[in-house]
A and B are shown apart, each in its own frame.
Chain A
């Protein structure tokens, strides 16, 4: 772990009007790591990962992806090529087939041919278990299938890190498993990722580190074993009691 971190956040602050979404957040993510962000809603988890690919502009501090500072300007496209994102509400392009949803980025951004990008897209769809849906349109798919297309679309850009923003929160309960299985396989395959999720069992299984946030601040960073069974942080304890005992 002596290598330079893939993501470096230093004293990052973000306000929405009067609301302090992030306060002085510092965090390093290393290649190959699976980091899960936990915390009550409104604690700044989503804002944190959205600052990494600049879907939110932070007000103070620094965020680096590799050597590139995340900021408005010509470097931003490079940052976004290196960071894939999977959204809570999938955000697939309804006007494109499933296959072209996945192939579009490589064609436009990496200047690949449609033929080559579609071949690669088929492989990715196979990898997330929906190769047989390639010619359909997003609206014809179930939520779980749509989210797996979302994952394939993010993977197609061969990013150095995947950002998951509550990937299963909009799914019917019976579809959560299929999406978590795909994410789990990626995690075990060495894909670097940051996950915001409310699936505690899943977090415990896949995470290398748990980052607990509350009120815009990082309150604790721990390995999952320590965090779930013996955290000494009072707020983390209260959070776990609330979500695990119901």
Chain B
């Protein structure tokens, strides 16, 4: 029983490969969908928080605070195991997607808000002065500048969402981690877990690097 045949057993890996790929596909689908929903939902939350009439503003703040304080795993378990008592029975995939995107939206809302608030007042005044309405002001002037500023933190958040998809194995979603543990049990060998870890890294390391490069570029531009 040497290290190689225990953790890097190519024979076991080859046999579990289809299962891992199947899980990887589902992980990517869940992650991508949750990221997109979180990005869109967060933008609306941020705009409500900043510009809506008072009661809506308060609701947005409450939402953002609650979902930033609530552990994702706890929220996911509630969605999957507690919502059926209210008559809402969601599939594992839908539960995970709902839990991940609702939490992600709370985080991205704060990121967008910081970006919008970083835009100089003069930009708003120039937009007012040519008579742009609120929608055009945001679409043409403020958001293009604000989003450029917050691409690195948004990407960081997206990385976190992609990693948190692994929690979905708790509600029996056959994602990458779940399939790997399945294959491990089948083969009585942990190599599929190592394989899964490698796949997660291959998926996320480029994104992590991208953020680092972008931040470096931004820092140098700012220093100039």
Show the binding face of A for B, using Cβ within 8 Å. 53-55, 77-78, 80-81, 83-85, 87, 89, 91-96, 104-105, 108-109, 153-154, 156-157
- What 1/0 flags go to B112-146 for Cβ under 8 Å of A? 00000000101101111111110010001100110
Question: Whole-angstrom distance between the alpha carbons of A103 and B130 in the complex?
Answer: 11
Give the distance to chain A from B151, nearest Cβ to Cβ, in Å. 13
Give the distance to chain B from A242, nearest Cβ to Cβ, in Å. 29
For residue B220, CB closer than 8 A to chain A, the reply is no
Give the distance to chain A from B51, nearest Cβ to Cβ, in Å. 14
Residue of B nearest to A94 (CB): B145
Question: Whole-angstrom distance between the alpha carbons of A54 and B129 in the complex?
Answer: 9
Task: Find residues 156-213 in chain B having any chain A CB closer than 8 Å to their own CB.
Answer: none
Provide the main secondary structure of the chain B interface.
helix
Count of chain B residues with Cβ under 8 Å from any Cβ of A?
Answer: 18
- Kindly list chain B residues whose C-beta atoms are within 8 Å of the C-beta of A83: 129
Question: Whole-angstrom distance between the alpha carbons of A221 and B133 in the complex?
Answer: 36
In the complex the two chains form, is A104's CB within 8 Å of B130's CB?
yes
The contact of A91 among B126, B133, B136, B144, by CB within 8 Å, is B126
In the complex the two chains form, is B145's CB within 8 Å of A95's CB?
yes
Instruction: Identify 19 residue pairs between A and B in the complex whose beta-carbon atoms are under 8 Å apart, listed by A's number.
Output: A54-B128, A80-B130, A84-B129, A85-B129, A91-B122, A92-B126, A93-B126, A93-B141, A95-B141, A104-B130, A105-B130, A105-B131, A108-B136, A109-B133, A153-B130, A154-B129, A154-B130, A157-B130, A157-B131
Question: Whole-angstrom distance between the alpha carbons of A85 and B128 in the complex?
Answer: 10
Question: Could you list 11 further interchain pairs (A-B, Cβ under 8 angstroms) beyond the known A84-B130, A109-B136?
Answer: A55-B129, A77-B131, A87-B122, A87-B126, A94-B145, A96-B140, A104-B132, A108-B133, A109-B130, A154-B129, A154-B130
Question: Whole-angstrom distance between the alpha carbons of A53 and B127 in the complex?
Answer: 12
For residue B219, CB closer than 8 A to chain A, the reply is no
In the complex the two chains form, is A109's CB within 8 Å of B131's CB?
yes
3 A-B pairs with the lowest CB-CB distances in the bound complex, closest first = A105-B130, A91-B126, A91-B122
- Kindly list chain B residues whose C-beta atoms are within 8 Å of the C-beta of A54: 128
- Kindly list chain A residues whose C-beta atoms are within 8 Å of the C-beta of B133: 77, 108-109
- Kindly list chain B residues whose C-beta atoms are within 8 Å of the C-beta of A78: 131
Question: Whole-angstrom distance between the alpha carbons of A238 and B132 in the complex?
Answer: 42
Question: Whole-angstrom distance between the alpha carbons of A153 and B129 in the complex?
Answer: 10
Give the distance to chain B from A211, nearest Cβ to Cβ, in Å. 21
Question: Whole-angstrom distance between the alpha carbons of A197 and B111 in the complex?
Answer: 40
Give the distance to chain A from B125, nearest Cβ to Cβ, in Å. 5
In the complex the two chains form, is A80's CB within 8 Å of B128's CB?
yes
In the complex the two chains form, is A93's CB within 8 Å of B123's CB?
yes
Give the distance to chain A from B115, nearest Cβ to Cβ, in Å. 13
In the complex the two chains form, is A104's CB within 8 Å of B140's CB?
yes
Give the distance to chain B from A43, nearest Cβ to Cβ, in Å. 21
With A108-B136, A108-B140 known as contacts, the answer to whether A89 contacts B129 (CB < 8 A) is no
- Kindly list chain B residues whose C-beta atoms are within 8 Å of the C-beta of A109: 130-133, 136
In the complex the two chains form, is B131's CB within 8 Å of A91's CB?
no
Question: Whole-angstrom distance between the alpha carbons of A86 and B155 in the complex?
Answer: 37
- Kindly list chain A residues whose C-beta atoms are within 8 Å of the C-beta of B126: 85, 87, 91-93, 153
Question: Whole-angstrom distance between the alpha carbons of A53 and B125 in the complex?
Answer: 10
Residue of B nearest to A93 (CB): B141
Give the distance to chain A from B53, nearest Cβ to Cβ, in Å. 14
In the complex the two chains form, is B141's CB within 8 Å of A80's CB?
no
In the complex the two chains form, is B122's CB within 8 Å of A81's CB?
no
Give the distance to chain A from B116, nearest Cβ to Cβ, in Å. 14
Residue of B126, B132, B140, B144 most packed against chain A (CB within 10 A) = B126
Residue of B nearest to A88 (CB): B122
Question: Whole-angstrom distance between the alpha carbons of A84 and B141 in the complex?
Answer: 17
Residue of B nearest to A85 (CB): B129
